[in-house]
Amino acid sequence: MWWLVWIVLALGALGTGALLLLRLWRQAKALGREAAAAGELTARLDPGEPAPVAPHVPGATGDRATLAAAVAARARIADERGRRRRARLARAGARWHAHGLTDRPVTPAEPAPLAARE
């Protein structure tokens, strides 16, 4: 009698596997159709090759004016970061002094001029 139970279970497993494979096959076919439609749409929307763009190369091989502007911008950004860092440290030192964590108040150091740093 157990052989009948095992046969029913085996047939049920085979039937379930067949149904899962059929569903997977149908979904794969639908995915292929959607991919083909997307490819056609992309082909219609693509205007072709874009116009070549000259690369921007700052540095020793680039334009001197561009290099000078990049160096000036870098120096300006570094000065601004230094100013913000000194202000932040001064605020923290004042706060620590107010809580009695330091002996004397911290005063912000004056930044060195740009010409002196070079």
**Rounded to whole angstroms, how far apart are CA atoms 19 and 30?**
17
Q: Residue 45: what pLDDT? A: 80
Residues contacting residue 96 through CB under 8 Å, at least 6 positions apart: 102, 106
Q: Residue 47: what pLDDT? A: 72
**Rounded to whole angstroms, how far apart are CA atoms 17 and 10?**
11
Q: What is the pTM assigned to this prediction?
A: 0.39
Distances, alpha carbon 31 to alpha carbons 26, 40, 44, 58, in Å: 9, 14, 20, 47
Q: Residue 34: what pLDDT? A: 95
pLDDT along the chain (118 residues), means of 10: 90 95 96 92 77 70 78 94 94 89 70 53
Residues contacting residue 86 through CB under 8 Å, at least 6 positions apart: 108, 109, 111
Sign of the CA dihedral running 74, 77, 81, 82: positive
Q: Residue 53: what pLDDT? A: 79
Q: Residue 105: what pLDDT? A: 66
Q: Residue 43: what pLDDT? A: 80
